[in-house]
Amino acid sequence: MSRKDHASETPATALLRREKVTFTEHLYDYVDRGGTAESSRQLGVPEHEVVKTLVMQDEAARPLIVLMHGDRHVSLKALAREIGCKKVEPCAPEVAQRHSGFLVGGTSPFGTRKAMPVYVEASVLELPKILINGGRRGYLVGIEPAVLTQLLQARPVNCAMA
């Protein structure tokens, strides 16, 4: 298989296979700071359907994961209010990496080093299919959004802003 057809196994894909989740693989050329705009452009999919995995922390520095549309931002105030915290903020890259076990830019919500609560923007669950990081830079997996709630027990929240 060529590089564009298949990626090497990651903790994320190992978990998906173990749980018998059907997924498609989508490789692209990783661009530092390119984010979901770059991956969606290279893969020819709407950025709204590419879901980013954000490692954040509450006021007590407890880590959590937020899954958000690629073309939206997280309202930290709305998120904190929804999950009953005083404050939520992004983790520093090295802290996020320590919690997740993934390099920033390659963070998947599946197969993280540390178990963390997962929150998903509610409208993500309404999409027919999403692309989400497969556990390394330049690699997304296509799944049905229901996998997020079924496998990760992701809790829907409303915290998106343009």
pLDDT digits (tens, 9 = 90+) for 22-64: 999 999 999 998 999 999 999 999 999 999 999 999 999 999 9
Nearest-5° Cα angle at 75, 71 to 49:
25
Domains of the chain plus CATH, in order, are 11-161 (3.90.960.10)
Q: Rounded distance, CA 54 to CA 129, Å?
A: 19
Spatial CA neighbour of 79 closest among 64, 61, 96: 64
| Side chain identity, residue 62 | R
pTM: 0.95
Instruction: Check residue 1 and give its pLDDT.
Output: 32
Is the CB of residue 12 less than 8 Å from the CB of residue 1? Answer: no
Instruction: Check residue 5 and give its pLDDT.
Output: 53
Instruction: Check residue 7 and give its pLDDT.
Output: 72
**What is the token pair recorded at 56?**
């954040």
Query: Residue 151: pLDDT above 90?
Result: yes
